[in-house]
Structure 1
Amino acid sequence: MSAPNLGSLSAVMLIALTSVAQASCRQALALGLDVSGSVNETEYSMQLNGLASALENPNVVNALLQPGAAPVYISVYEWSGPVHQNLIAPWLPITSQAALSNLITTLRHHARPKMDVSTGLGPAMLFGAELLHAQPDCWRRTLDISGDGIANTGPLPRDISLPDQITVNALVIGPGSTRPLGESQEETTGLVAYFEARVIWGADAFVEVAHGFADYEAAMTRKLLRELEGLSLVHAR
């Protein structure tokens, strides 16, 4: 096997980095929060405030506000039934600490609307994909879906079609301490398998796990750091 041409590799990386620098948006990140009937008021608050606290994490702040880098655009919505998706925060370029603080304030002051109790994962993914469609100039377009259960109303995730240009990651919320340990582990394992097989999309897509809503902030922090830590040069189904 011949040795790699380091000059050619350097040229490719330079072109890629130049493209990133010239982009008006480094990454578009749409976050979809589960507000179906399985999520009670306390869990709803933990999820919303957990996302807000994750965005306040110093490491996440540093990843979002990289000096000299194009901004990350963030939008947040909540979802339940097939026609129940509610936009909490429209697209916002995170260009400064003030912009990030405005988003966090919006999250912390948002009141839960009345929505369908069913779990329409497929429509929630289509809604997020449509949001990302509005950001064609971003280097990466990523949809995050948080959920604590499988889809029970359609169209189901396996029945929808998503563009190859986006990535769908998932944050699975297991039952945590609300169930006996063995039962909790079994249910979480089943949920992860479902989301890996039916929900995530893209060559570098992944599933993060929260062991109950009390663990949501920590899991969201891990997921955001993984998504923001670098750019992937290859995006495929």
Structure 2
Amino acid sequence: MLGAAPAQSACRLALALGLDVSGSVDALEYRLQLDGVAAALEHPETQAALFDMPGATVALAVYQWGAPDQQYVLVGWTDLTGPVQLQQVIRQLRGANLRFDDPYTGLGAAMQFGASLLAQRNDCWSHTLDISGDGPSNSGPHPGTINLGMSPEITINALVINPGGRDNVTKDLTHTRTLLDHYRVHVLRGPGAFSETAQDFEDFRAAMTRKLLRELRPPTLSQLDADG
């Protein structure tokens, strides 16, 4: 059984997960996302990657976002020093049920919120913002033009749901052809940034597991030359 790390552990990674639950996300899709993150964290390989460096822990925060003025922290900063702390996070995710009803998608504002969360963990060696979404930014600051004031420097990765989508409602992919292009051009930032894809919400759990494993493990040479 995996044991707890020493009480005076250093923080090797601050990881903030931002989940898109704007008004276009229905109740089933909401649960598929939150339960998908919980299941990804429970995966044996994820747990091994979380706890493979005793004395150098991962700090995790999870928030949901929608319109530019809608962000809510589901899990505040938690140092994952062992399985007990991880199970507390998983229970919080499975018990969450707050949904937003505003149809707009404030992706830029969600990035700003995540960056402000990461700024609270200057004690960590590295900082990663993990943004997932199923639509392009269509309200609030545009993700491609905002200045996040990268102090500390952060990496922003993306999990794109329905990556081939072209958004039939807003027609606003900002000079990109698909939703995946939109995220790659306007969202990815920082050292080693990459994108992962889920074909639909049913595929979210598997995609989140792949993404977490890549974020928690040291990059391979092939990963250094690609964005996913």
- For Structure 1 versus Structure 2, the TM-score category normalised by the shorter chain is 0.7 to 0.9
Equivalent residue, structure 1, for 2:86: 100
Aligned partner of 1:229 among 213, 217, 221: 217
TM-score, structure 2 as length reference: 0.83
User: What stretches of structure 1 of length at least 5 have no aligned partner?
Assistant: 1-21, 177-188
One-letter amino acid matched to 2:146 = I
Q: C-alpha displacement at 1:29, in angstroms?
A: 0.3
Aligned partner of 1:84 among 70, 74, 87: 70
Q: C-alpha displacement at 1:231, in angstroms?
A: 6.7
Identity %: 49
Aligned partner of 2:158 among 146, 170, 178: 170
Secondary structure, aligned partner of 1:157: coil
CA displacement 1:103-130 (0-9 Å, x = unmatched): 0000000112444221000000000000
The separation in 2 between residues aligned to 1:174 and 1:113, in whole angstroms, is 20
User: What stretches of structure 2 of length at least 5 have no aligned partner?
Assistant: 1-7, 165-176
The separation in 2 between residues aligned to 1:23 and 1:167, in whole angstroms, is 23
CA displacement 1:51-105 (0-9 Å, x = unmatched): 0000000000000011424110000000001110001000000001010000000
CA displacement 1:158-178 (0-9 Å, x = unmatched): 2211216100000000079xx
Secondary structure, aligned partner of 1:123: helix
Secondary structure, aligned partner of 2:218: coil
Equivalent residue, structure 2, for 1:42: 28
Contact in 2 for aligned 1:84/1:115 (Cα 8 Å):
no
Aligned length in residues: 201
What aligned pairs does 1:195-214 form with structure 2 within 5 A after superposition? 195-214=183-202
For the aligned residues, what is the CA RMSD?
Answer: 2.1
Higher helix content, 1 or 2: 1
Contact in 1 for aligned 2:21/2:100 (Cα 8 Å):
no
CA displacement 1:182-215 (0-9 Å, x = unmatched): xxxxxxx711111000001113100000010000
Equivalent residue, structure 2, for 1:191: 179
Equivalent residue, structure 2, for 1:118: 104
TM-score, structure 1 as length reference: 0.80
The separation in 2 between residues aligned to 1:175 and 1:129, in whole angstroms, is 24
One-letter amino acid matched to 1:60 = T
